[in-house]
C-alpha cells in the first residue's frame, strides 16, 4: 500500500512509521503534520495541498479538530481512510458518517484486536448476567491522555447490551492502557482485563484495517467488520 500518515509527528504516527519501515511491506509516501516535524524518513507537509502522488489509503493518528479537513481531501480524491484518532465528539462522528456515504472509512475508538475481542466477550457475558450482576469498568492510561474516560471505555460500555456500568478512569505515569470490566454478583465476581504493553498493537491494528478498507465500498466500517474476515 502507498500510505499517507496523518499526524506523523505524534507518538502513534512515529510508532506506525517505525513498524512500516521494519516490516518493509508498504510504502509511506509522505506524512502530514501541522508542526511539520522534519526528522522522519519521508517528506512531511503541513497539509494535504502538497500531496500529488496517488494515495492508496490515509491512516489518521492526529487530532479531532483535523477530521473535517482530512475527510474533505479524501472525498475529493476518492481515498479510503483509517481514522484511529481518539477523543472524537458528536460533531466529528456526524462528519464521519456523512463522508462515509462517498468513501470507505474505517473508524474505531481502539485499534487493538484484543480490545475488540474483549468487546465481543463482554457482550455475550452481559446477555447472560445483566440484571443479576452489577457492572463496572476501570481504566488506566498515561498522564498525558486528554480524554477521560477514554473512547475505549465507552466502546466497552456500548458492548454491555442493556447493562449500565460505572466507569472509573485513572491517568498516571506512562501506562499505554489497561481496561478491566467487572461483573459483580452477591457472592461472586467475574473480571476481564486487557493490558496494552506497547502502543504497537494500535499501529498493527491500523495497518490491518488499512489493508481491509482499500478493497471496500463506500461506507463506515469498524473492528466488527475486520474480525468477520
Choose which CATH entry (3.40.50.720, 1.10.3720.10, 3.30.413.10, 3.30.465.10) describes domain 2-107+200-227: 3.40.50.720
Asked if 27 is an active-site residue, the reply is no
Looking at the chain, the domain(s) classified CATH 3.40.50.720 span 2-107+200-227
219-221 and 104-107 beta bridge pairing: parallel
Helix (H) or strand (E) holding 121: helix 113-129
Closest CA relative to residue 1, chosen from 192, 152, 211: 211
Element containing residue 60 per DSSP (H, E): strand 57-60
Q: Which of 26, 145, 161, 200 is catalytic?
A: 145
Catalytic status, residue 54: no
DSSP lists the bridge partners of residue 177 as 196
113-196: CATH topology: Dihydrodipicolinate Reductase; domain 2 (3.30.360)
| pLDDT tens digits in sequence order for the chain, 229 residues long | 999 999 999 999 999 999 999 998 999 999 999 887 778 999 999 999 999 899 999 999 999 999 999 999 999 999 999 999 988 889 999 999 999 999 999 999 889 989 989 999 999 999 999 889 999 999 999 998 878 898 899 999 999 988 889 999 999 998 889 999 999 999 999 999 999 999 899 999 999 999 999 999 999 999 888 865 4
Q: What is the location of CATH 3.30.360.10 in the chain?
A: 113-196
Per annotation, catalytic residue among 6, 141, 179, 194: 141
Report angle CA 81, 228, 66 to the nearest 5 degrees: 20
CA separation for the pair 76, 56 (Å, rounded): 14
The pTM is what?
0.86
Amino acid at each position: 500500500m502507498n500510505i499517507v500518515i496523518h499526524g506523523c509527528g505524534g507518538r502513534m504516527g512515529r510508532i506506525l512509521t517505525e513498524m512500516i519501515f521494519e516490516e518493509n511491506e508498504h510504502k509511506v509516501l509522505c506524512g502530514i503534520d501541522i508542526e511539520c516535524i522534519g526528522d522522519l524518513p519521508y517528506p512531511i507537509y503541513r497539509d494535504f495541498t502538497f500531496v500529488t502522488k496517488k494515495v492508496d489509503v490515509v491512516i489518521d493518528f492526529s487530532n479531532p479538530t483535523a477530521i473535517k479537513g482530512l475527510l474533505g481531501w479524501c472525498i475529493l480524491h476518492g481515498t479510503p481512510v483509517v481514522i484511529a484518532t481518539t477523543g472524537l465528539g458528536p460533531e466529528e462522528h456526524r462528519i464521519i458518517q456523512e463522508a462515509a456515504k462517498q468513501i470507505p472509512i474505517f473508524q474505531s475508538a481502539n485499534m487493538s484486536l484484543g480490545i475488540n475481542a474483549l468487546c465481543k466477550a463482554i457482550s455475550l457475558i452481559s446477555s447472560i448476567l445483566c440484571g443479576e450482576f452489577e457492572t463496572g469498568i476501570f481504566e488506566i492510561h498515561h498522564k498525558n491522555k486528554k480524554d477521560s474516560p477514554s473512547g475505549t471505555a465507552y466502546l466497552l460500555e456500548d458492548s454491555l447490551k442493556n447493562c449500565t456500568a460505572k466507569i472509573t478512569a485513572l491517568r498516571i505515569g506512562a501506562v499505554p492502557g489497561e481496561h478491566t470490566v467487572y461483573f459483580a454478583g452477591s457472592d461472586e465476581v467475574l473480571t476481564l482485563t486487557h493490558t496494552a504493553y506497547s502502543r504497537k498493537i494500535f499501529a498493527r491494528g491500523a495497518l490491518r484495517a488499512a489493508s481491509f478498507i482499500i478493497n471496500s465500498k463506500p461506507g463506515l466500517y469498524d473492528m466488527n467488520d475486520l474480525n468477520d474476515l
